[in-house]
Amino acid sequence: MAKVLVVDDAAFMRMMVKNILGANGHEIVGEAENGVQGLEKYAQLKPDLVTMDIVMPELDGIEATKEIIRSHPDARIVMCTAVGQQAKVLEAMKAGAKGYIIKPFQAPKVLEEIKKVLGS
Amino acid sequence: MSTEIDLSQYLNAFLEETKEHLQAFTQALIDLEDADEERAVEVLNAAFRAAHTVKGMSASMDFMNMEHLCHSMEDLMDELRSGSRGVTPELIDMLLECSTKLEELTICIEDNGNDDIDVSEVLSELDKVKGNGEGETAEDKPEKKEKADKDEGKSKQDSEKKVESEEGKGKTYEINISVNKSCDFKGVRSFLALKTLAEIGKIVKTVPSQEDIENEKFGFKFKVILVTEISDDEIKDALASVADLEKVEISGEAVEVEAEVAEQEKEQKKKDLKSEVAKSKDKGKEAAVKSVRINIDKLDSVSNLVGELVINKSRLIQIGREHEIEELGSTMAVVERTISDLQYEVTQMRMIPVEHVFNRFPKLVRDLYRAQGKEVDFILKGKEIELDRTVLDEIVDPIVHLLRNAVDHGIELPEGREKAGKNRKGRIALAAKRETGHVTISVEDDGKGMDPDILREKAVSKGLLLTDEVAKLSDEDAFKLIFMPGFSTAEKTTAVSGRGVGMEVVKTRVEALGGFVDIQSEMGNGTKMVLKLPLTTAIIQALLIDVCNKTYAIPLSNVREIISVLKNDIKTIQGATVITLRGSILPLVMVQSLFGLFGNDNNGGHNHKDKFVVVVVERSEGRIGLVVDTALEQQEIVVKPPDEHMQGATGLGGFTILGDGCVVPILDIASLTLA
C-alpha cells in the first residue's frame, strides 16, 4: 500500500506505529528520531506518508512539517499527538499537515486516518 | 486486517525507554538547581520532553497512574517554563519525588506488569503546588493567546477576501457538516475540513465563525457557504479525505459568481509558509544516528558463538601444525584475522558508556546528603568510558554502597568540617578511568578518612580476630578488615538508599567479575575506594600454567609478574609460607596442594626442586604468589561459568576449552586460600 516514514523521538512509539501500519499492508520505508533527521529522510525516501511526532529534540514536529511542506507542498503528513495538544495540532494543520492521530493509538482510528489522508 | 494491538510485545521497549527518559529527567532537574538562566530554559525543556514522552508511552500501554502523574508534572513544569513561577529547591525536590515515584511505577510494571501503585498523594501534592491545578492544561495557554492574536489578523484578511469573492465565478453551495461525536480535537478536525474546502473553492462564510470553530466553540455541526466551480459530488469527494466527519449535506443554489481568487490565495499561502519556515532553517543539524536495539540475551549468544569459533580456530591451527599442512596454515592465518576482528566487534557491541548507570547517582547522593544535613559537591568523571554491559549491571549496587559510605561515614557535617579547617561543602568524586586491559571506577571523598585503630578494635569486639592478630596488621591491612564477613560499620540504614549491601558484598561482586577492590585512606583527608574491573567477562586473556602436568588458566588481569624463586628464599612465618619480594612479604600459595595434586616424581612435588616459578597475582587483600611448575603461554580463552559440580569448589572460577579440546579450570584468584 503506502510507503511510510515514521518520525518520533521515542523508539517505542515508532515501533507501535510501525506495527500497526506494517500489520495492515503498509511499508515502513524509514524512521527518524528528530525533526532534522525527518527532513533528511523525507528528501531521501520520498515517502507517500509521514507520521510526525510533535514534541521532539533538535527540530520539533511542527517546524519539520513546515519545512517539508515548503519543499514538497503535496507531502502527506499525519501528526502524532497527545491529549491536550489541540493548539499545537492546529498549528501543525495550518502548517500543512493533513491529519492527526492521538496517543494512545487505537489501530482502527490510526488506519482510518491514514486511509483518509492517502485518499486525498 | 489485524487491528488488535497486543501490548505485551511492547513492554520491553517501553521499560527500557522509560528508564532512559527518567534518567534524563532526573539529570535535568539536578542540573536545573545550579543552572543560569539560559541553561535553565534548556534543561527545563529537556525535563519537560522526557516527562511528555513517558506520558505518551504510558498512555499507550494503558498505565494510567503513570500517565496521570506525568501529565500533572508536565503542567507544573509548564508553569516553570512560562516563567509564571520561579524555580525553587522545593519545587525541584517535589519533581524529584515524582521521578522517584515514576521509578517505583516502572519497577512495579517490570515486576508485575501493572502500575498499581497509589499516586494520589503525589498528585495532590502537585496540585497543591500548582495552586488551582484545574481547567485547561497550561501547555495550551501561551499558545492560545498567541494564536488568538494571529487569528485576529487572519479574520481581517478573510473579510477582505470575502469582498473580492463576491466577484468570483462559480456556484454557491451551503454545506452542513457534522463532526463525529467521538472525535478528538473537533476544532482541529473542522479546521481540516475548512482547509480542504478552501483548496477547492472560496469560503464566503461559516457559522459559527472560523475562529470559533477552531477554538471548539460549537456543538458538533457547522455551516459553510462555499463558492466553487466544481460539483457537489466533487465537494463530497474532497471532504472524504477528512476523517471523523459524520455527515456532509450539500445544497447547491447554482448561483453563478466569479471565483478566480482561489488561485491567488493559494500563492499567498505558500509565500506565508516560506517566510515562516525560513526562521527555523538555521537550527543545528546532526548526523543521523543509525542504530537498532538488540536484546542483551541475543548479544550474549552471539558472543558465545564467537567464543566457540575462537576455540575451534585454535583446534584447526593445531591440526595444521601437527600434520604439516601448509595450505591449511595460510588459510587459517586469514581466518584467524577475521575471527579476531569479529571478536573485537562483538566485544565492542557489548560495551556501553558508564554514563548509563552514573547518571542515576547525582540524585541518590543529593538525597543522601540532604537527608543528613550535609553539603556535598558531587563530581562525575569519565562518563564516556565504556564497559561490558554485564559488568556494568553488576557493579551498580557496589557503587551505590561506596557512595553511601562516602556520604554517611566520610563527609562530616558542615560545622565539623569548618572546625577541621575544611570547606563546609564536602566533595565526592565518582570517576571511571580506562587503563590497559581494565577499567577502574573510584569513589573518592575528602571526608574524615578511616581510622585503622577503630577498625582494629571493632574486628576484635566482633570476635573476628584476636587482639594480637590485629596488632600485627599494618594500617593498610587494617582498612581491609572491612571486607571481612560480619564486619559492617553501618549501624543504621538510611531511608534514602535502603539497606546497604556491606563492603563484603562489594568485594565479592567485584571479584566475581574478575576484578578487585583497593582502599586508600588518610585520617582527616578522606578515603578513596577503587574498583578495578575487567573490560569484559566473556573472552579474556589468560596465562596458562602447568602444575603436576595439569593445565590451569589464570586471568591475565590478575597477573602482575612471573618470578623465579630459589628454594632457600622461601620462609615460613607463623605457619604461612612467604618470600620477600623487593622488601615486602609475599604470601605463597602452593597450587598443587590446593588441588591435592602430586608431581610425577611421586615424592611430594616441589619439595625436591631448588627453583620454583611464582606467578604474582593481585587481589583485594593484596598480592600473593602462586607456586607453579611452569608458566606455559598467554592465550585468549572463552570463560565458561562453573557447572554445578564445580560450584562451591574454592579456587575455581569456571573453565575453558582449549584448542586441543582440553578442558582447563580457571583459577579464581579471589577465593584462593593461603597455605
Instruction: Give the per-residue pLDDT at B495.
Output: 42
Instruction: Give the per-residue pLDDT at B648.
Output: 57
Yes or no: say if B204 and B172 are a contact pair by the CB < 8 Å rule: yes
Same domain, B153 and B118: no
| pLDDT of A31 over the 80 cut | yes
Q: With respect to residue B255, please indicate whether it lies within any of the assigned structural domains.
A: yes
| pLDDT of A50 over the 50 cut | yes
Same domain, B433 and B300: no
- Hey, of A12, A39, A49, A81, which one would you mutate to test binding to chain B, going by the most B CBs within 10 A of its CB? A12
Yes or no: say if B227 and B171 are a contact pair by the CB < 8 Å rule: yes
| pLDDT of B161 over the 60 cut | no
Say which CATH number the domain at B571 has: 2.40.50.180
Contact A91 B143 (CB under 8 A): yes
Residue B170 banded pLDDT, cuts 50, 70, 90: confident
Q: With respect to residue B276, please indicate whether it lies within any of the assigned structural domains.
A: no
Encode pLDDT of B234-278 as tens digits.
888 888 888 888 888 888 764 444 344 444 445 545 554 544 444
Q: What would the mean pLDDT of B531-553 be, rounded to a whole number?
A: 83
SS3 A70: helix
Residue B15 dihedral angles phi and psi, to the nearest 5°: -60, -45
Q: With respect to residue B622, please indicate whether it lies within any of the assigned structural domains.
A: yes
| Beta-sheet strands, E only, within B243-319 | 245-252
- The alpha-carbon gap from B294 to the nearest alpha carbon of chain A, in Å, equals 12
Q: With respect to residue B393, please indicate whether it lies within any of the assigned structural domains.
A: yes
Instruction: Give the per-residue pLDDT at B277.
Output: 45
Same domain, B429 and B509: yes
C-alpha–C-alpha distance, residues A114 and A99, integer Å: 8
C-alpha–C-alpha distance, residues B179 and B597, integer Å: 88
Encode pLDDT of B511-530 as tens digits.
888 788 889 999 889 999 99
Tell me the residues of chain B between 42 and 101 that have a Cβ less than 8 Å away from chain A.
Answer: 46, 49, 52-53, 55-57, 59-62, 71
User: What predicted TM-score, i.e. pTM, was given to this entire model?
Assistant: 0.48
Number of domains, chain B: 5
Query: Which domains occur in chain A, in start order?
Result: 3-119 (3.40.50.2300)
Encode pLDDT of B392-428 as tens digits.
888 888 898 899 889 988 899 999 999 988 899 999 9
Q: Mark which of B315, B349, B383 sits at the end of a domain.
A: B349
Amino acid letter at B61?
M
Lowest mean pLDDT among A74-83, A103-112, B312-321: B312-321
Encode pLDDT of B596-629 as tens digits.
766 544 444 455 577 889 999 988 778 889 988 8
Lowest mean pLDDT among B190-204, B229-243, B527-541, B636-650: B636-650
C-alpha–C-alpha distance, residues B500 and B397, integer Å: 9
Same domain, B180 and B313: no
Same domain, B392 and B460: yes
Same domain, B381 and B529: yes
Q: Mark which of B138, B158, B182 sits at the end of a domain.
A: B138
Q: Is B143 on the interface with A (CB under 8 A)?
A: yes
Instruction: Give the per-residue pLDDT at B187.
Output: 86
Instruction: Give the per-residue pLDDT at B641.
Output: 67
Q: Is B106 exposed, middle or buried (0-12, 13-18, 19+ CB in 10 A)?
A: buried
- The alpha-carbon gap from A3 to the nearest alpha carbon of chain B, in Å, equals 17
Instruction: Give the per-residue pLDDT at B644.
Output: 61
Same domain, B472 and B366: yes
CA dihedral sign, ordered B19, B54, B284, B78:
negative
- The alpha-carbon gap from A97 to the nearest alpha carbon of chain B, in Å, equals 9
Lowest mean pLDDT among B273-277, B433-437, B573-577: B273-277
DSSP string, B497-554: TBS--HHHHHHHHHHHTT-EEEEEEETTTEEEEEEEEES-SSEEEEEEEEETTEEEEE
Cα three-residue angle B597-B599-B603, rounded to 5 degrees: 105
Residue among B17, B20, B33, B52 flagged as catalytic: B52
C-alpha–C-alpha distance, residues A70 and B5, integer Å: 35
User: Which residue segment(s) compose the domain that B503 sits in?
Assistant: 353-534
| pLDDT of B563 over the 80 cut | yes
Helix (H) or strand (E) holding B120: helix B120-130
Say which CATH number the domain at B216 has: 3.30.70.1110
Tell me the residues of chain A between 31 and 70 that have a Cβ less than 8 Å away from chain B.
Answer: 32-34, 36-37, 40-41, 55-59, 63, 66-67, 69-70
Report CA-CA distances (Å) from B68 to A83, B137, B585.
Answer: 12, 13, 64
Q: With respect to residue B279, please indicate whether it lies within any of the assigned structural domains.
A: no
Same domain, B93 and B218: no
Amino acid letter at B598?
F
SS3 B431: strand
Q: Is A117 on the interface with B (CB under 8 A)?
A: yes
Q: ipTM of this predicted complex? A: 0.83
Q: With respect to residue B290, please indicate whether it lies within any of the assigned structural domains.
A: no
Report CA-CA distances (Å) from A17 to A20, A34, A85, A98.
Answer: 5, 16, 19, 17
SS3 A72: coil
SS3 B466: coil
Mean pLDDT of the residues in chain B? 78
Same domain, B416 and B403: yes
CB neighbours of B117 closer than 8 A, spacing ≥ 6?
A: B65, B101, B104, B105, B108
C-alpha–C-alpha distance, residues B24 and B563, integer Å: 50
Q: Is B241 on the interface with A (CB under 8 A)?
A: yes
Residue B5 banded pLDDT, cuts 50, 70, 90: low
Q: With respect to residue B285, please indicate whether it lies within any of the assigned structural domains.
A: no
Helices (H), ranges, B406-474: 414-419, 452-461, 467-472
Q: What would the mean pLDDT of B80-102 be, rounded to a whole number?
A: 84
Q: What would the mean pLDDT of B480-487 be, rounded to a whole number?
A: 81
> Which residues of chain A have a CB within 8 Å of the CB of B241?
98, 116-117, 119-120
Same domain, B449 and B546: no
SS3 B190: helix
Encode pLDDT of B25-71 as tens digits.
888 888 887 778 888 888 888 888 888 889 888 888 888 889 889 98
Q: What would the mean pLDDT of B650-670 be, rounded to a whole number?
A: 80
C-alpha–C-alpha distance, residues B260 and B662, integer Å: 90
Contact B243 A112 (CB under 8 A): yes
C-alpha–C-alpha distance, residues B81 and B75, integer Å: 10
Q: With respect to residue B281, please indicate whether it lies within any of the assigned structural domains.
A: no
Percent of chain B with pLDDT over 90: 8
Q: Is B4 on the interface with A (CB under 8 A)?
A: yes
Encode pLDDT of B266-289 as tens digits.
554 555 454 444 443 433 333 344
> Which residues of chain A have a CB within 8 Å of the CB of B196?
120
Give the residue carrying C-alpha cell 499561502. B269
Q: Mark which of B254, B270, B286 sits at the end of a domain.
A: B270
Enter the DSSP assignment of B619: E
C-alpha–C-alpha distance, residues B306 and B303, integer Å: 5
C-alpha–C-alpha distance, residues B489 and B457, integer Å: 12
Same domain, B516 and B401: yes
C-alpha–C-alpha distance, residues A85 and B129, integer Å: 23
Say which CATH number the domain at B42 has: 1.20.120.160
Same domain, B314 and B388: no
For A117, which of B55, B191, B241 is closest by C-beta distance? Answer: B241
Instruction: Give the per-residue pLDDT at B166.
Output: 43
